[in-house]
Structure 1
C-alpha cells in the first residue's frame, strides 16, 4: 500500500495528458510504448467532494444515498471514511456541476447568505480538487509511466511583437521548433489586422500538424500566451490549440502568472495569478524550472532566457543578439537577422527545458496532478499534499482539517559561523538530507497523520532515490536512461527535503505539526554539535556548519586521504540514518557571513554563494570586480586586489564601464497611483526612471533595469533581460560615475573587510585619485582568518542531550 501511496496503483502506461470536465467526462491521451503512436481514451468518472458533514446535502432527501446502494441518475452518494479526521464524507455524483450546485444551495440556505463558488466555503468543511485531480486521485493513475523525457513530443514557439502592450501592439513573427528539432519562422504578410490574424491561424495550424504533447517556452505564461490570447480575442481569431477542439485557452489559478491586457484600462497586469491550459497538451514555462534551480543552486546571473542559456552553455558563441525593444525595428531593415535570432530563442528554450525540466517530469510520475501544474508547484503544498490526500482516500481514512496551531513558534535550523576571513586547504563534508534522515531515525511525523503516511513517503523516497542515483551512475553518460534516473533522483530529493518544512508550516499544510518539526530541529542541533566538536578534536579549523554540511580547513601537510579519513571517523559516530559524506576540497575559502562565502577549487572556476556575492539586484560591474578581487585574494595576492579596485575606479571615472553594468534589475512593487501618492514626500529611483523614460503606466511586479544618471537623474534601460552585449549597441554612458565609485567601496569592497587587517584594508581601497602619503606597502600583506566561535561552546540542543552514537 505504501508504494501505492507514492506511485499510484493503476499501471496504465504512457499517459501524456489528462483533461476532465466537471460533468464527469475525462479524456486521456496515451503514447503507446515502442513508438506506437498516440491514442485517446474517452471515459466517465464520478466527480467527488470531501465534506466534514452531510448537513448541507440533507435537502436532497432520498436523492442522497449511501455509496453501497450504487450510483443512479440525479443521485448523490456518500461514503463515511474511518478515523477521527474532520473531512470524513466522500460524496459522489454522475455530474459534478449538480453536486456543487446542491452543496452551495444547502450551505446558502443554512447560513442565510448566497454562496456562488466552492472556493467561498470554509476549506475545513470541504475539499474540492480540479476535475483532473479528482480523476487521477480516484483511479490511481499518473502521468508518464514507462516513458522517458525524450519520448514526449515537445514543441517550442516564441512570439516577436512590435511592443509589450497587447491592446495596441501586434505579433509580427513567430518562431517554432517542432518535436523533431526542426525550426521554422512564420511572418505576418503585412501590418494590419488581417495579416496578424492570418499569422495566428497559421501558428494554430502548425501546432495541430505537429501534434505535440507539450508546448514550451521561456516566460510562456508571463508573456507569450497572455499576449497571444489578447490579440486573438481582439481579432476574433479562435485559438484551437488543444487536442479536443473547443474550448481554446482556458485560465487556471496559479501562484505566478500573467494576463496581458487584463489590468486597469486594458493595461498589462503582470501579477495576475493565473495561467493557461488546453485539453490534451501540457503548457510548460521553462522560467519555472530556472527559478526552482536557482532557489537551491544560487548560481545564475539572472533568469532571462539568453542569460541562463549562456551561463549553462546552451547558447553558442555566434548567438544573434538584438535588444528586445529594437527587434521590430531591426526586422524592418534586416528581417533575416531577426529570423536567426528567433530560431535561436526556441532552440535555447528547448535545451533549457531538457536540461532543467526532468524533475517536474519525474514528479508527474508520482503525484496525481497535471504535469503543467507540477512544473510550477511548490514541493510542499504542490506535491506532498496531493500525495497525502490520495494516500488517505486509498486507505479509506478521514482527513484532518487544517489547524492554526497553539501559538508555538517553529524553531529555526542550526547555523554556526566559526571563523571569518580567508582559509586555505578547505574541505566540505555534506550531511545528506539531515532533517528527513532524523525524521526516519527517530520516527518523528505529524501527530495527526495517524496512518504515518508522511514518514512512509519519506522512507520510500529516500530508499528509491538512492537506487535511482546508482542506476544513473551505471548508465552511459548522455543516455536517456541516465537522464531519466538523474531526473527521478532530483525529484525525490525535492520532495524529501520539503517534508520537514511541511510539518513546520503551521496553518498552511494539512498535516502541519510545529511540535514535531521542533523535535526534529532539536535532534538536528544535537547532531550538528556532535559533528562540529568531533571534527575540531581531530585538528581541523571549523569555518561554517549548518544542516547541509560543514566547511573546515585542514593542516597544510594533510593529503586528500587524511581529509577523507577524518570525515569517515566522524560519520561513524552519528546516528545510523544520518550520512556524512566527503563532498569536496578547495584551495581556499573566503568566509564572509553565514551562508555567504567564496570558494576557489584546486582547479576550476570560482564558486560564489549567498546574496553578498550573487544577487539579481546587484550591479554587474560590482560583481565583476568581486570576482577579479577574490581570485587574487584567495591566492594571497593583495596587490592584485588593489589593482582590481584601482582599474575599476578608473574605468568608472573614464566611463569605460557600459551603462548596463552599473544598472540594477529591480521589481516594481508600487502601482503608478501608489507612487504618485507618495512622490512629493519621497522619490524612488526605479519609478523616477520609469517617468524619465516616458513610462507613466506600469504593472506591479514588472522588472526593469535602472541606474543613477548624472545630475541626480534616474535612467532606464529598455529591456531588463537584455545582456550587456545587446545593450552596448545603444549605450548612453550618462551614469553618475562618482556615485558608483562610492558604491564600489561601500558595498562591494566591504565584502572583503574580514579578510584583511584594518590597515591593509584601508590601503587596498584608498582612493587612487587621492592616495595617502603614509600608506603601508602591500608586498608583505596577507589575508587573515579570524576565529569567532569555539566549537566546544556550541550547545548540543535546547535542554537536550547529544544523540547516541552507533
Structure 2
C-alpha cells in the first residue's frame, strides 16, 4: 500500500466523487461514485457526522443528544468527539448550543461539510488506482448574441440568447448545439441530455465559473429548463465565493454539480503563474499560444463579430467554437494532472 498519510488509509480504488446523500429513517448516508469498466456505480455508506467539544457536559444543554461520545487521547482542548445520527441533528445541536452557551464558538470545533468529515474519518480519497486518462472529462463553451445598441451580452436581456454550445470530451469527440433551428429552450434541453448521456466525472471550461455556467443558469431559468446536470438527476447549484491567488482576488459564483467536478482553466492558469510569473494574458487564445497548444489552422473571429458570424458564416463560427474546445482541453491536460 502507498503511504497512508499521503494517499489515505482506505484502499478503495476508482472513486471519482463523494457526495452527501439522503437521510433514510433519520440516518445519514454518503454516496460514493465509483467508475469501473461497466461505468459508474453508487456505493452508499451510513455515516454519523461529528463535532469536537472541549467539555462533554455541553451536551446537557441541548435537546439533541449525540448517539456516541468518545474521549480522545491526549490533553489538548477538544478532547471529546460527539457523533450524531444525522447531519440535521448535528446542525440543530449547534444551534441550540449557541443559544445556551454564549461562548459556544470557542468550545466547539466543527467542519461544515459532511463529505470532508466522512473522508477524514474513513481515509477515503478520490481517484486512487486511476490514471489521469481514466477520467471521463467533458469541455464546454458557449457563444452568445447581443441585442443592438449594447456592447456586451447580458443573460438577463431577452434577446441575448445562447447561439451555440460546444461540447467536447477527452477522447477528442465534439458536438455543436445551435439554437438557430429549434430555439434556445430546445438547445438547453439538449445540452442537459448530452451531459447526462456522456456522464462525465469532470466538466471543464475556460472562465466557466465567470461566464458559461452563470449564463446557462440564467437562460435556463428564463425558459424553465431544469439543469439536472448531476448524477442521479440532481440539479446544479451555486453560491457566492471568492478566488484568491497572489495579489489577485476574484468574486464569482461557485457552481456545484453533484457527482461531478468542475474545472476552470482560467483559475488554474493563474495558480500556475504564481511561480512562473511570465503569462501576459489569461485569455484562452493567449494561453494556448503561450503553452504551444494552438490547434493547426485555428479559426479566429473578433469577439464583437462572433454573433454576426453565426448568421453570415455559421460553418466558420462553429469551427471557431470547436477550436475553443480543443484549446480548453489542451490547457486542462497541462494543468489538471497535478491535482
Report the TM-score, using the length of structure 1 for normalisation.
0.38
Does structure 1 conserve the Cα–Cα contact (< 8 Å) formed by 2:170 and 2:329? no
Distance apart, 1:254 and its partner CA: 4.1
Q: Give me the whole-angstrom Cα distance separating, in 2, the residues matched to 1:352 and 1:252.
A: 26
Q: Does 1:189 align with 2:177?
A: no
For 1:36-435, list aligned pairs within 5 A.
36-60=38-62, 64=65, 75-111=66-102, 122=105, 125-163=108-146, 164-168=153-157, 169-189=160-180, 195-246=183-234, 248-252=235-239, 254-256=241-243, 272-360=251-339
> Structure 1: which 5+ runs fail to align?
65-74, 113-120, 258-269, 361-806
Following superposition, which runs of at least 4 residues in structure 1 exceed 6 angstroms of deviation? Answer: none
Equivalences, count: 323
Structure holding more helix per residue: 1
The alpha-carbon deviation at position 129 of structure 1 amounts to: 3.6
For residue 42 of structure 2, give the secondary structure of its aligned residue in structure 1. strand
Residue deviations 1:276-329, cap 9 Å, x none? 111111111112221111111112121111100111111135211112232112
User: Is residue 320–residue 341 contact of structure 1 (8 Å, CA) maintained in 2?
Assistant: yes
Q: How much does 1:90 deviate?
A: 1.7
- Return the match for 1:31 from 30, 35, 38: 35
Work out the CA distance in 1 between the residues paired with 2:107 and 2:6: 25
Query: Shift of residue 272 of structure 1?
Result: 4.0
By how many angstroms is 1:124 displaced?
A: 6.8
Task: Give the conservation status (yes or no) of the 8 Å contact 1:251–1:274.
Answer: yes
The alignment partner of 2:130 has SS state of: coil
How far apart are residue 351 of structure 1 and its match? 0.8
Larger-Rg structure: 1
Aligned counterparts of 1:170 and 1:226: Cα–Cα separation in 2: 13
Equivalent pair of 2:50/2:110 in contact (CA under 8 Å): no
- The DSSP-based 3-state class of the residue aligned with 1:19 is strand
Contact 1:249 1:277 (C-alpha < 8 Å) held by counterparts:
yes
Greater percentage in strand: 2
- Root-mean-square deviation (CA), in Å? 2.5
* Separation of aligned partners in 2, 1:172 and 1:123: 53
TM-score of the two chains, using structure 2 as the length reference: 0.88
Residue pair 2:51, 2:108 contacting (<8 A) in 1 also: no
Name the structure, 1 or 2, with higher relative contact order (CA <8 Å, separation 6+). 2
Q: CA deviation at 1:2?
A: 11
**Deviation at 1:243?**
0.8
Per-residue deviation at 1:6?
2.2
Alpha-carbon displacement from aligned partner over 1:208-238 (angstroms, at most 9, x marks no partner) = 1111111101111111111111221222110
CA separation in 2, counterparts of 1:235 and 1:99? 38
Distance in 2 of aligned mates of 1:135 and 1:349: 33
Identify unmatched segments of 5+ residues in structure 2.
Answer: 147-152
Listed one character per residue, the Cα deviations across residues 484-529 of structure 1 (whole Å, up to 9, x for unaligned) are: xxxxxxxxxxxxxxxxxxxxxxxxxxxxxxxxxxxxxxxxxxxxxx
Classify the secondary structure of the residue corresponding to 1:357: helix
Q: State whether residues 62 and 96 of structure 2, in contact with CA within 8 Å, keep that contact through their aligned partners in structure 1.
A: no
Distance in 1 (alpha carbons) for counterparts of 2:29 and 2:237: 17
Secondary structure at the aligned position of 2:242 is classed as coil
CA contact (8 A) 2:137 2:169 kept: yes
